[in-house]
Amino acid sequence: MASELRHRVDRGSDYPLVHLTGVLNSDAAEALRAALLDVLAEQPEALLVDTGELTLPAPATLAVLRRLRDETADWPGAHLALCDARGGAAWPGLGWPIWPSAADAIAELGRPDPSHRFGLELEPALGAARRARELITEACARWDRPELAGPACIVVTELVNNVVVHARTPMVVLVAAHGDGLSVAVRDQSDHVPTFSGSPVPPTAYGGRGMLLIDSVASRWGSLRLDDGKVVWALLARADGDENDAPAASMQAPARG
């Protein structure tokens, strides 16, 4: 029997597919959570985790995967799906949809449209926010969402400027179409997560208005800590749309752990 957990990320599949083998014990569980968050930070439409060759864990280690589900509940990017022929009975109380195999999950999800998400790597330098706005404007034009260009540019400007001024690390800007809306995310290498009190900022205060602006134009926003930094995201919806519009991918009535 394998004595440790091993994971391999296959990005050559339609959706990122994480193959797990070995034993999921309490020590390996946190490392697995970090690895899955790292893939999720790329905002794929779905993340598939193949556990068919994983030795079934002790019930206590399931808490880590439940925690991942809860942490990403508002995440606008990816569906989480387990692929395991043993079914939901092998993963009691997990809450993830479970498919017999990755092929079954992909058949249900359909093929993702790569033209519905763009990324841009930026250095924390003057002009970074302008380049990010150009990406947003081009994406909104391609996706026929011109009314979202203004709000999305406000979001990306504040997120990028926060990195330039505070984090001062390289960053990745991600924009993706979701239903009639879109998401904007910025990943950097700082573990400082922005806070938001909801209170007005005094006119004489220096800075501090960025998250207030984002909160005023986004349907919802949030952040996730990663081992090498964080990602801050915001979801924007059309005025006549549903802020809960899901990505094109769908999961129809799978078994659940």
**CATH label of the domain that carries residue 20:** 3.30.750.24
89 and 200 belong to one structural domain: no
Q: How many helices (H) and strands (E) in the chain? A: 6, 11
128 and 232 belong to one structural domain: yes
Q: What are the CA-CA distances from residue 123 to residues 22, 127, 186, 207 (Å)? A: 39, 9, 12, 21
Average the pLDDT over 17-41 and give the result.
86
pLDDT for 253 equals 54
In tens, the pLDDT along 201-252 reads: 544 433 456 788 999 999 999 888 898 999 999 999 987 655 444 444 444 5
Instruction: Say which residues have a Cβ less than 8 Å from residue 85's Cβ, sequence separation at least 6.
Output: 52, 100, 101
CA 63 to chain centre: 20
Rounded to two decimals, the pTM is 0.79
**% of the chain beyond a pLDDT of 70:** 84
Q: How many domains does the chain have?
A: 2
**Which residue segment(s) compose the domain that 124 sits in?**
114-236
- How do 255-256 and 79-83 pair as beta strands? unpaired
Q: How far apart are CA 50 and CA 188, in angstroms?
A: 28
Average the pLDDT over 22-47 and give the result.
85
8 Å CB contact between 82 and 98 = yes
